[in-house]
Amino acid sequence: MGSPHAEGIPLRELAARCGAELAGNGEVVIDRVAPLDNAGDGAIAFLSDPKYRSHLARTGASAVIVAPADAQGTALPKLVAANPYAAYAQVAAILHPRRPPLPAIHPTAVIAAGARVAATAAVAAHAVIGERARVGERVEVGAGAVIGEDATVGDDCLLHAHVVVYARSVIGARTIVHSGAVIGADGFGMAEDEGRWIKVPQLGRVVIGSDVEIGANTTIDRGAIGDTVIGDDVKLDNQIQIGHNCNIGAHTAIAGCVGIAGSTTIGRNCKIGGAAMISGHLEIADGTMISAATGVFESITVPGIYTGVFPALPHREWKHVAGAIRRLRSVLWRLRALERGQNDRES
């Protein structure tokens, strides 16, 4: 990964490379990114949330990234962009690029004779690569990571320490998998028979597209018969559970602790908040946004923002509200009885 302090780059060059408008001295040299309230000489900070606008006037940064509406709020040299956060992401990647791996295989790594590991790949200590596995160009395999037999890891992937990729799983180019993630474990397939459980063989794979990021301790189960599929540019946070035969559409982002039961299809460009729970065998339309901690028990066919969590209240007030909700059914029955009586009288 990039060093904390990168080699300095003139602001005008950053503007050209990220497509932002330059305002002010373009010769200011920038060597790092920093938050508005903790930036110093050589740093560039950004403002995207108006509630932090007061920090703009007193920041110690050498330059800032702002939206057009905030451009007059500071005399500092600046990059003006319609989406300051996206511009910041581009600048941060320019200033702190990932270092290319130094091709090497640690002597404690165990690589099967039939595995194919590119000469430009780097395999760290105690990693294991199984028979017929394929590891692409410039891939980094972290310490203690395991790549199962017949698995494929595409070019320029980064597998951090202790990632486990089960047999036959496929990971597309430039994908990042963080420590503790498990790709391709058996799905939770059980058939009940006379009070006992019979394990259903999980015969499918996990197929992951390109430019995906998978957070620490996230688990993606293999398909029962077909494949579990994660589309291109999907971003998964930490500690997410994705059940067998799910299909996650391209460019979807899912926050931490989300649980998705098996055979659910989530569309493209969806955003799912942390700790949301999604039942199995559902379909979620492209472009849907699901708020944090929302339970989804039926398919969503019309894109929009869906929220199903009751806001936090002081405990005593919550008890009163919960009691009222429990009484709603009886109130509804009485209301319907009154309506029927009214209708009978009118007829």
What are the residue ranges spanned by the domains of the chain?
9-95, 104-306, 315-346
Phi, psi dihedral angles at 51 (to 5 degrees): -70, -15
Q: Provide the 3-class DSSP secondary structure of residue 329.
A: helix
In this structure, which CATH number among 3.30.70.260, 3.40.1390.10, 3.10.20.90, 3.40.50.10470 belongs to the domain 9-95? 3.40.1390.10
Residue 214 near residue 176 (C-beta atoms within 8 A): yes
The dotted CATH code for 104-306 is 2.160.10.10
For each of the chain's 347 residues, which pLDDT tens digit applies? Answer: 444 455 799 999 999 999 999 999 999 999 999 999 999 999 999 999 999 999 999 999 999 999 999 999 999 999 999 999 999 999 999 999 988 889 999 999 999 999 999 999 999 999 999 999 999 999 999 999 999 999 999 999 999 999 999 999 999 999 999 999 999 999 999 999 999 999 999 999 999 999 999 999 999 999 999 999 999 999 999 999 999 999 999 999 999 999 999 999 999 999 999 999 999 999 999 999 999 999 999 999 999 999 998 888 999 999 999 899 899 999 999 999 898 888 877 76
**In Å, how far from its chain's centre is CA 16?**
28
Q: What's the pLDDT score for residue 344?
A: 75
Q: What's the pLDDT score for residue 118?
A: 98
Residue 173 near residue 156 (C-beta atoms within 8 A): yes
- DSSP characters for 44-68? EEE--SGGGHHHHHH---SEEEE-G
HSE, side-chain direction, 13 A CA sphere, residue 314: 2
> What distance in Å separates the CA atoms of residue 196 and residue 173, rounded to the nearest whole number?
43
- Cross-strand pairs, 22: 79
Q: What's the pLDDT score for residue 6?
A: 58
Catalytic center residues: 244
Amino acid 185 reads A
pTM for this structure? 0.91
- DSSP characters for 192-235? EETTEEEEPP----EEE-SS-EE-TT-EEEPPSSS-EEE-TT-E
H or E stretch including 339?
helix 328-346
